[in-house]
Amino acid sequence: MLPLFFLLLIPAVSRAAEIHISFNALERMLSAQMFTDEGRRYVKGSRTDKCNFAWLEKPSVHEAGGRLLMRARFTGRSSVDILGRCLGLGDSFPLSIIATPFYDSGQVGLRDVKVAPDSGHWGFYISRVCAALGTSLEKQFRYPLAQEAKTRLDAPDRQLRKFHVTSIRVTTQALVLDVDFMIYVP
């Protein structure tokens, strides 16, 4: 049995922890929160748009050289409706998104985003799509990790008072977050 003195020291010493989020869990989180329209994530237009739309589907998450590698299928069209027919560009292809995750102001984001078709074939439309996706993912992707932690850890008998991610790294098995937090029990 530990003396009371040592029990009092434990909360002050053991506030840091590692959270390992497996790639399977990341895929489930992405699907549940971002790919919500019949398994699709519209990045332009919506399901009702006939000639101007773009979506990603079938996401998978992996590791590539210490960075996140996300694969998805892109389908899109940028055209004009003329007499009931769509005239313009469109394509469907698998692509890879490589990014470095970071933590700032309670949210996980992506930086240094690179998007490329898996096939290696580049054309005018594919080049424009990949450039636009890279820019938009870097600007728009934010996961509210601090709020999610607060939602999951707060309860009537305890309160999350501090939550900070000190580092994020990508291993071959998971996204690993080093966190420093404090839970207050009244």
Range of the domain at 12: 4-184
- Distance, in Å, from the CA atom of 135 to the CA atom of 112, rounded to the nearest integer, reads 9
Alpha-carbon distance of 56 to 133, in angstroms, equals 10
CA-to-CA dists, residue 148 to 60, 117, 144, angstroms:
22, 33, 6
Q: Order the strands of the 16-22 sheet from edge to edge.
A: 16-22, 174-184, 159-170
pLDDT at 10 over 90: no
Q: What is the pLDDT of residue 14?
A: 44
In this prediction, residues 130-159 reach a mean pLDDT of 88
- How many structural domains comprise the chain? 1
Cβ atoms 77, 88 nearer than 8 A: yes
pLDDT at 15: 57
**Is 4 strand, coil or helix?**
helix
Q: What is the pLDDT of residues 58-108, one digit of tens each?
A: 999 999 999 999 999 999 888 888 888 889 888 888 999 999 999 999 999
**Max avg pLDDT among 28-32, 119-123, 160-164:** 160-164
- Contact between residue 141 and residue 133 where contact means Cβ atoms under 8 Å apart: no
Which residues have C-beta within 8 Å of that of residue 87, sequence separation ≥ 6?
79, 80
Q: Taking 60 as the threshold, does the pLDDT of residue 177 lie above it?
A: yes
Of 113, 35, 93, 88, give the one whose Cα is nearest residue 43: 35
